[in-house]
């Protein structure tokens, strides 16, 4: 990963490191009912996944993790801290991942999203993602399991 952070207006993007995990895991727990664990993020870093943090005024604003497999980018996690949601930061973070995937040979991006995540579905549709399938019983849910909507976008 590049060690040099770069900016996009009032967001600074930097590769996620183990030093970021405390803040990322705390944010994750405040966003999701079934959050990724410290181990999930640590394993992603160890595996060499493309992981980024976005900071605003030196505070965590968002983060994401993407796995590259040949020319395919698989967006595993993308999140904006609750107090900054609804301000376009998700779009900016997503655009950052598009550029990063292209820079690493990506020609398409895939992701899974809960059908109950209306905001996520709207964000992905606005950015050219289309549904290509469903995965049954993919996510833990309050009452059993929830399927995943599988989406794809050309880069």
- Give the residue numbers annotated as catalytic, written as ranges: 112, 124
Judge contact between 113 and 142, C-beta under 8 A: no
Burial class (CB in 10 A: 0-12, 13-18, 19+), 59: exposed
Please state, in angstroms and as integers, the Cα–Cα distance from residue 93 to each residue in 11, 17, 65, 127, 139, following that order: 9, 17, 11, 12, 23
């Amino acid at each position: 990963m590049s060690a040099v952070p770069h900016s996009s207006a009032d967001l600074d993007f930097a590769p996620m490191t183990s030093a970021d995990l405390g803040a990322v895991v705390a944010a994750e727990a405040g966003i999701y009912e079934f959050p990724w664990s410290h181990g999930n993020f640590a394993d992603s870093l160890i595996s060499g996944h493309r992981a980024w943090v976005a900071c605003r005024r030196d505070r965590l604003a968002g983060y994401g993790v993407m796995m590259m497999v040949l020319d395919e980018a698989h967006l595993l996690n993308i999140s904006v801290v609750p107090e900054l949601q609804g301000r376009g930061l998700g779009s900016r973070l997503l655009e950052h991942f598009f550029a990063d995937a292209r820079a690493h040979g990506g020609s398409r991006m895939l992701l899974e999203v809960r059908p109950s995540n209306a905001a996520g579905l709207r964000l992905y549709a606005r950015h050219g993602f289309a549904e290509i399938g469903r995965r049954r019983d993919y996510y833990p849910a309050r009452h059993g399991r929830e399927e995943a909507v599988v989406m794809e976008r050309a880069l």
